[in-house]
């Protein structure tokens, strides 16, 4: 299933809405059948209560198909360059009965054949899966066929989940053969925005909030009460900062136009086990609505592959910074001696802005 959260420890990409008309480095292939003028196209249908009552095996209450540039990824940390959509030109979103938010998938839509032998529009997804088969009726409505019940589930989900759980998570047996009306593109933008609504409390993205030529310091000192309620947390104190050395490094190798790409920062931690403070330097890249920061030098000079020793920074509400640790990548131990997902309760941290002196090494 396509998901929209990446501050979670698994580190999946956050899904965000883009503004119609934004500049794209990789324009999608547009189909004349769907978009005669070469612009974006939107089709949708919202089923009323009487229709759903007459079709008890249909779970889908709302369905929209969008043909055009990625309507899901929202410009936030990085200026959008089209990479996130993998060149998709077709996006489908559905909301099942009782759900508050839609599910969505994206894929590549193409036609095959010429003249009388020209077939329907085939929309494929990654892993050689089919998103749908599309065709237009005489009234210009879009018919959606071959819409699999397990389109939002992993391959082999029926066997893995068991029959009862599969039936609960899969779409209904009557969820196919949808007939969608052509609608304004704004309708699709609004529908895809429901996937991950903008939270005004988050304020400016980190790339705006944090300046390339200014230091910062975020951290947290955990109370005895907090540590008592989190016995599996090793961190007693944590700091995330850029100081003079990190500013000088960016001034040498980075460019303002590409900020925050190439920005170095330091994570310093004190363990509740009484160990000395441990520090680790990371190099960051803007990625959707967050920074992905990879360790660039192992502690105590050890040599190992640090490509998976990564952390993620994301803005939190009211000026906070969120730090996620998907793998064993915080300087609580020698990074070269551990591997795999974080086993302790040191996974997601809510950090507050602190005076720069609080991060002095």
pLDDT of 126: 86
At 23, is the pLDDT very low, low, confident or very high (cuts 50, 70, 90)? very low
| pLDDT > 90 fraction of the chain, expressed in percent and rounded | 61
Listed range (27-31, 164-168, 190-194, 353-357) with the worst mean pLDDT: 27-31
Is the model more confident about 11 or about 58? Answer: 58
Cα–Cα distances in angstroms (integers) from residue 132 to residues 113, 115, 128, 142, 361, in the given order: 17, 22, 12, 11, 57
Segment 1-13 mean pLDDT: 36
Measured between alpha carbons, how far is 352 from 361 in angstroms, rounded to an integer? 18
In the chain, the N- to C-terminal Cα span, in Å, equals: 44
At 116, is the pLDDT very low, low, confident or very high (cuts 50, 70, 90)? low
Residue-wise pLDDT for 34-80, tens only, equals 999 999 999 999 999 999 999 999 999 999 999 998 888 654 555 44
Torsion from C-alpha of 140, 152, 105, 123, nearest 10 degrees: -60
Helix/strand/coil (H, E, C) string of 54-84? HCCCCCEEEEEEEECCCCCCCCCCCCCCCHH
pLDDT of 254: 87
pLDDT of 4: 35
pLDDT of 290: 86
Measured between alpha carbons, how far is 348 from 160 in angstroms, rounded to an integer? 29
Segment 250-271 mean pLDDT: 92
Is the model more confident about 200 or about 26? Answer: 200
Cα–Cα distances in angstroms (integers) from residue 268 to residues 91, 214, 226, 339, in the given order: 42, 19, 19, 20
pLDDT of 62: 98
Cα–Cα distances in angstroms (integers) from residue 101 to residues 92, 96, 181, 306, in the given order: 13, 9, 21, 37
Residue 43, classed as helix, strand or coil, is: strand
Is the model more confident about 202 or about 142? Answer: 142
Measured between alpha carbons, how far is 44 from 182 in angstroms, rounded to an integer? 7
Question: Token pair of 107, please?
Answer: 């894929």
Is the model more confident about 333 or about 94? Answer: 94
Measured between alpha carbons, how far is 346 from 339 in angstroms, rounded to an integer? 15
Residue 276 has pLDDT above 80, yes or no: no
DSSP state of 23: -
pLDDT of 76: 53
Report if pTM > 0.75. no
Residue 25 has pLDDT above 80, yes or no: no
Residue-wise pLDDT for 177-200, tens only, equals 999 999 999 999 999 989 877 778
Segment 24-33 mean pLDDT: 73
With beta carbons less than 8 A apart as the criterion, state whether 201 and 317 touch.
Answer: yes
Sign of CA dihedral 300, 250, 255, 219: positive
Cα–Cα distances in angstroms (integers) from residue 1 to residues 12, 105, 173, 324, in the given order: 11, 8, 19, 22
Measured between alpha carbons, how far is 42 from 191 in angstroms, rounded to an integer? 10
Residue-wise pLDDT for 71-113, tens only, equals 886 545 554 444 445 679 999 999 999 999 999 999 999 987 6
Q: Where is 179: in which H helix or E strand? A: strand 178-183
Residue 18, classed as helix, strand or coil, is: coil
Residue 137 has pLDDT above 70, yes or no: yes
């Amino acid at each position: 299933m396509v998901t929209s959260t990446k501050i979670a420890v698994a580190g999946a990409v956050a899904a965000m809405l883009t503004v119609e008309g934004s500049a794209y480095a990789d324009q999608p292939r547009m189909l004349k059948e769907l978009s005669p003028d070469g612009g974006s196209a939107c089709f949708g249908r919202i089923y009323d209560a009487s229709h759903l009552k007459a079709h008890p095996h249909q779970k889908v209450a709302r369905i929209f198909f969008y043909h055009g540039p990625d309507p899901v990824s929202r410009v936030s940390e990085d200026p959008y360059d089209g990479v996130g959509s993998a060149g998709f030109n077709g996006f489908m979103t559905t909301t099942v009965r009782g759900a508050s938010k839609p599910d969505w998938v994206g894929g590549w839509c193409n036609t095959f054949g010429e003249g009388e032998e020209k077939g329907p529009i085939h929309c494929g997804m990654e892993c050689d899966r089919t998103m749908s088969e599309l065709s237009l009726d005489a009234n210009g409505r879009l018919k959606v066929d071959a819409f699999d019940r397990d389109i939002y589930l992993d391959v082999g989900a029926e066997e893995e989940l068991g029959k009862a759980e599969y039936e609960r998570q899969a779409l209904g047996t009557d969820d196919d053969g949808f007939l969608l009306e052509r609608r304004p593109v704004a309708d699709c933008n609004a529908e895809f925005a429901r996937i991950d609504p903008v939270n005004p409390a988050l304020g400016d993205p980190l790339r705006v909030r944090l300046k390339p030529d200014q230091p910062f310091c975020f951290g947290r000192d955990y109370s005895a009460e907090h540590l008592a309620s989190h016995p599996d947390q090793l961190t007693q104190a944590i700091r995330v900062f850029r100081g003079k050395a990190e500013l000088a490094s960016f001034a040498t190798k980075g460019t303002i136009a590409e900020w925050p790409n190439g920005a170095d920062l330091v994570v310093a931690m004190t363990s509740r086990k009484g160990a000395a403070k441990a520090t680790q330097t990371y190099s960051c890249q803007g990625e959707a609505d967050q920074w992905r920061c990879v360790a660039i030098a192992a502690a105590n000079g050890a040599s190992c592959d640090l490509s998976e020793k990564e952390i993620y920074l994301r803005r939190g509400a009211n000026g906070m910074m969120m730090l996620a640790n998907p793998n064993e990548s915080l300087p609580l131990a020698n990074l070269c001696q551990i591997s795999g997902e974080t086993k302790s309760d040191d996974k997601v941290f809510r950090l507050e802005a602190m005076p720069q002196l609080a991060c002095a090494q």
